[in-house]
Structure 1
């Protein structure tokens, strides 16, 4: 089906990596002048770079991007095929029609929210759903989607894209693959699909499998001539995101935390309220309902462990420059930098090591025993699954466990840069009103420290929430409750005095334009955060004499004594708003009472909910996706019973209110 592909020698500008270099570097300005000359025609890019397989990715959180990177590398190393990964937003969508039949396009795309495409998929999504007189009959493709059955529109994005490709006569080599993260199966779903793809490579395309040995696509080279001022020491940047994504977000800035307090009374759990000051950053503004993105760093213990195991402790601060071996490789990490910054601020070293990487690491093992151990762990699915249920398998711990006391001097830093996920910000719903507190947004963050299912003595600590807890504890001159430490002063002491790197991301989760519009709000746990902001704003609007619509807030937590966050503030809102606000609570672990969840209360107060909906209420849900799905089911069945609707009428109503933004969700997991 696919003919032989001849290599090309007319490569495009190989200096794209200089986009991340400091302007102080003497060669940076001249070479960087060509950065924007990269073509946006993917067919031309494939031809110029001599590639015959392109792995497109569309990702909001970075998972799909990571899969695309892994797949492109493995295709090159294991099958000897020239491949590249491509951000969907980097190329004009219509140019896929120019990809010849001798090449293969692979799409790996995620779905999030209400069946929405990622920011960098949006342009391609718009094109593929509207393209008319276009033929893709020459395009051979495969597709894999990332989704979660807790969301109503499970894997909608990949399904819509595949439907569009088929309408334009593109030719699929195999059925679409779908990952389901509801049970944490995304990784294994991807690997099973990848194995099926490789069977197609062998049986349909006639590719010959070769022994997979690591061949770097980039070089990480020491350069001691560079001065500290030339380096990136850990400062994050979000300006390499897709055009749409960048438009939705402010630049990353250094922000002060002016107030931090504990919201839980339980001794073994933490939930933080933090006020952040925008006063020193006049260009940063937010609107009620927006998100604050926090850029974390990795814990000191994990950084030190990995530096030691890799034999880099003594050279941790030596400057390194990251350069592509292949000009088609896009460098997305700041350079030049050093090993400390890479492991502390730029790479997700706390993430579990997937089976693919476990298997690949065997080739760098210092001993035959370590090689055999990693090979078995990487190849045996059941053995691996059992192992990770008993221990948290991040890179440093794995290397130490596989070969205690040995230095992995054969494991190059370039491998880590190529294979480890990059640190990305975590997004928190802003829990303050921009009307009431325009320069001091607040966030509400539950701290994640979870025992392993088969090993209650070992905890898996959420990176960002524990980083925030460490900052909060520092302001009280107290240690982190689990003894975790971080480099809280940040690169070049930029974060000294309780500061964070953060940016604002715009959200569609907004109050109605008119304050007379009724509201139905459903939140569980920290899902209360945006509703604290909504109610605060409505109180302020009422104070200046404007009419306020009826509101009902459903809030759920474990017990009224331990984790009923913002209880006093909600009571104050109730006092100010009077009969305009009804607060309905559900407690899942209240002693002496049956378990109740917010969806149970929505059902119990179904008549009131339907009445407000009939009066034009906007409906909001914030919390876990599984909860949101149950709430939608309850509301749908209540509407059906009240109005005598059929299933189709309920579905049509649901689509209509969402299209009008009368039903909004801010959900996760």
Structure 2
């Protein structure tokens, strides 16, 4: 059996000042556990940076001094942000808390918890985020303890354009109840407009916490927090920067069915900063032709003034700038079914999630209006539609190389439904912007998808299609920084001649020995000696991985970091399955041990995924 992958590269203990050693000796087991997680995070980032002073986790958990544990599972950082906000609020009122990522939560302590708050997102088709998969599996498994003394609260994050909306939060909520836990307050499910649900829920949690504090006053200490303080930018999601388009170029071939764009935006004067692996949030506008078509179906006027939630706009402005038209949500479908009196639609809403998933994938709001006619008032229509939210694109550049610019790779979603044109809101908006025009943007930081602080570490990057975008930024950053670590990219698409994205940029890097590249083109065929057509090479990136399995395993054993970006539904699962096979074949592990090895890599920050 192969040796386990290294957890650390340090050779031995460093000398600590006597005063610090005395302080460490005074800590109990909980405090030492927390400190170990904090220092491990610093080691991964390469240093403490600018840190703030915050109340420490209160460590005793007794009837006289109850502690609230806050656990988050987050893929893109939203659940973490909410959990950190909650932690700060509870500390400010004087409560004893500890904040833990789900994969750092000591499962053996669950049976001793008195108060547990979980903030957890749902990915894709009802899956937990990567950092919470083990935690959720433990809760659902036979080793989960009975919890008669637990009071808990769950905030689920999700996207109502998916049928299994907030499914993980619902499952965790139900399971804790099955284990004997008592709900401290009802579960809340937050859509992509997170704060509209999370903010009042946090206020309710704080109110309940004040009641608890009145019963059992405690005190807090002050220590270094889990995360470095970050400078608050003048521009953010609610106050986006209006960025000028510097370049908007189609990089797929003219004979490709896909219109894939490389777009460069100026951040000059914004004060915005990003690191390789971060994302650019873009606020879209719905196509005006779509807005007009919906208004015609409603039988109203675009200029009609509509007031909702304290805001007043013409109906056309509501639909163009403030409401989701290109993605369905279950609340809209339920409300429409009540008005449409359609047995077909009622049956779909009652059907298995897979059938509803097909409807979500193939229909927009206008398609539902056309297929199942119903009468809507403009006010009711605006009230039930989901708020338009920004689209998130992996940044395909590094500021080390491009300065005050951000580059993104956009696949323009355009198709026909029943003979009518349909588009994705943001991709269509972006594809139509000319040089000199502007888009509203902000930076979405993604610290769990970042380069290793040690630039001598090797990296493996798996990014088919537009999933290659962040790895362009990775390579720019690595080369600009003069790192000596090796870079290996697995890229795939349908056709080499028309969809080999950034080919002209990869070739010089290969010649310079700065990049190792493996390719898979799923629809490129050659005629075999039997006259039958067969793939010209590996079809998918997972095929490349398996073909290179021995070398991939050797890189990982040598401490390489592994990154996956792209489709969550199929590609990411197939790649994960291929990695599991590689661990078995070349590491001498059984399936369970291979999965445990990959889990360990994720916990160490050496296996990161940005999937959607």
* Contact persistence 1:294–1:426 (CA under 8 A): yes
Residue 446, structure 1, aligned to residue 411, structure 2:
yes
In 2: Cα distance, 1:343 partner to 1:609 partner = 49
In 2: Cα distance, 1:617 partner to 1:274 partner = 31
TM-score (norm 2): 0.63
1:411 is matched with: 377
In 2: Cα distance, 1:529 partner to 1:119 partner = 25
In 1: Cα distance, 2:597 partner to 2:490 partner = 22
Q: 1:423: Cα distance to partner?
A: 0.9
Instruction: Write the deviation string for residues 156-184 of structure 1: whole angstroms up to 9, x where unpaired.
Output: 77677889996364599xxx9x9999x96
* Contact persistence 1:558–1:589 (CA under 8 A): yes
- Within the candidate set 538, 549, 574, 2:510 is matched to 574
- Secondary structure at the counterpart of residue 441 of structure 1: strand
Instruction: Write the deviation string for residues 423-461 of structure 1: whole angstroms up to 9, x where unpaired.
Output: 111111111111111201100011123456xx6x45642
1:528-539 to structure 2, matched below 5 A, reads 528-539=468-479
- Within the candidate set 367, 378, 381, 2:346 is matched to 378
1:270 is matched with: 259
C-alpha change, 1:162 and 1:610, in structure 2 (3 Å) is closer
1:605 is matched with: 548
* Contact persistence 1:520–1:551 (CA under 8 A): yes
Q: 1:372: Cα distance to partner?
A: 3.7
* Contact persistence 1:357–1:378 (CA under 8 A): no
Q: 1:310: Cα distance to partner?
A: 3.4
* Contact persistence 1:147–1:180 (CA under 8 A): no
Deviates more, 1:154-163 or 1:618-627: 154-163
2:399 is matched with: 434
C-alpha change, 1:390 and 1:241, in structure 2 (3 Å) is closer
In 2: Cα distance, 1:135 partner to 1:152 partner = 25
Residue 320, structure 1, aligned to residue 316, structure 2:
no
Residue 352, structure 1, aligned to residue 328, structure 2:
yes
TM-score (norm 1): 0.58
1:153-172 to structure 2, matched below 5 A, reads 167=147, 169=149
* Contact persistence 1:135–1:168 (CA under 8 A): no
* Contact persistence 2:327–2:364 (CA under 8 A): yes
C-alpha change, 1:564 and 1:629, in structure 2 (3 Å) is same
In 1: Cα distance, 2:290 partner to 2:138 partner = 41
Q: 1:347: Cα distance to partner?
A: 0.8
Instruction: Write the deviation string for residues 554-581 of structure 1: whole angstroms up to 9, x where unpaired.
Output: 1111111010010001002223x32x42
Instruction: Write the deviation string for residues 390-440 of structure 1: whole angstroms up to 9, x where unpaired.
Output: 995444454455559xxx4x6251x33432111111111111111111201
* Contact persistence 2:553–2:587 (CA under 8 A): no
Q: 1:647: Cα distance to partner?
A: 3.8
1:520 is matched with: 460
Instruction: Write the deviation string for residues 110-169 of structure 1: whole angstroms up to 9, x where unpaired.
Output: 9763999464356589479688876469x9x9x996653677858777677889996364
* Contact persistence 1:290–1:507 (CA under 8 A): yes
- Within the candidate set 464, 469, 473, 2:426 is matched to 464
2:218 is matched with: none
1:504 is matched with: 443
Unaligned runs of 5+ in 2: 1-70, 88-97, 175-192, 203-226, 527-533
2:36 is matched with: none
* Contact persistence 1:286–1:504 (CA under 8 A): yes
Equivalenced residues, count: 462
